[in-house]
Amino acid sequence: MNKSVCCVALLLSGFTSGVFAESSKIQIDAGKFQMGCSQGDNDCESDEGISGGIAVDVPAFLIDKHEVTVAEYQVCIEAGNCQRPKDHKRNQYCNLGAEGRGNHPINCVDWQQALDFCRAKGGRLPFEAEWEKAARANTLTRYPWGQEVSCKQAILDDGKTMGSVPNEPDGCGEDRTWPIGSHAENAYGLHDMHGNAGEWTMNWYAKNGLERYANGDLIGPDQGRQRVVRGGSWDENKAYLRSSFRNVKPPVSGRSVYGSIGFRCAYDVK
């Protein structure tokens, strides 16, 4: 059997059986955490709440260790469970179809495309409060490693790091995403929660979202105009990578290209 055909067959078998997915999940235990504006963070916007955050109680859940990769998403397409998103032929920053990017995060995906993938794995997208709890990893600072971020910790546009693309600091000088897991995991064992690709969450955006979550409503409004995107990305500056920053995008890209957005899946604890 052709090696590539063999590997795709194995991936498809693992995907549909759940074996492939199980090895990459991390359980986050139930409990409260401080969500929102970190103490001493002067970059917080009004929808990030009060300085020092607000206590939000989150039930136990599972979340993917890594952002979903191009190779994993391609398996879902081949299985007939996922639609093909915008690809490298459409835009140079889209990873699907780009040579050598199988282990990069899938990007240029609409919200429903991300959700369909997660449902095919028996999961869903993370709720916004789940995402922040996982990203903070029991920390109270702007980032899980402290008050500042650079290309030593995450893939971003830090305004100074250059690489293979002349005069281009996006993606730490590469002007694209990096392979998943290129930097150290956080204290919960999760990679790329900050930078590389921004990540879709389940929630519609609400300016008072944190208040709703603190009152026990982790789902938030049942309709809206924009979905919440978390974590910042390869072409965004350090303020966008803060643990509390709430980005928003319409769930359907339309004529736009969401080259900065990918996702990871979450799962209920059974």
Which helix or strand (DSSP H or E) is residue 57 part of? strand 54-58
DSSP per position, 226-263:
-EEEES--TTS-GGGGSTT--EEE-SS-TTS--TTEE-
Helix, strand, coil distribution of the chain in percent, nearest 5? 25, 15, 60
Question: What pLDDT was estimated at residue 270?
Answer: 85
- Dmax over Cα atoms in the chain, in whole Å? 59
Two tokens, residue 27: 């359980």
- Per the CB < 8 A criterion, the answer to whether 63 and 201 are in contact is no
* Tens-digit pLDDT string for the chain (270 aa): 333 333 333 344 344 333 334 458 999 999 999 999 999 999 999 999 999 999 999 999 999 999 999 999 999 999 999 999 999 999 999 999 999 999 999 999 999 999 999 999 999 999 999 999 999 999 999 999 999 999 999 999 999 999 999 999 999 999 999 999 999 999 999 999 999 999 999 999 999 999 999 999 999 999 999 999 999 999 999 999 999 999 999 999 999 999 999 999 999 998
Residues 70, 103 contacting (CB under 8 angstroms): yes
State residue 23's pLDDT score.
52
* Contacts for 119-122: CB closer than 8 Å, 24+ residues apart: 120/15, 120/76, 120/79, 120/81, 120/82, 121/15, 121/18, 121/21, 121/265, 121/267, 122/18, 122/21, 122/267
Rounded CA-CA distance 59/39 in Å is 24
User: What residues contact residue 146 under an 8 Å CB cut-off, 6+ apart?
Assistant: none
Spatial distance between the Cα atoms of 114 and 71, rounded to a whole number of angstroms: 14
- Confidence at residue 76, expressed as pLDDT on a 0 to 100 scale: 97
How far apart CA 146 and CA 222 sit, in angstroms, is 35
- 241-261 pLDDT tens trace: 999 999 999 999 999 999 999
Q: What are phi and psi of 37, to 5 degrees?
A: -50, 120
Residue 163: its pLDDT value, please? 96
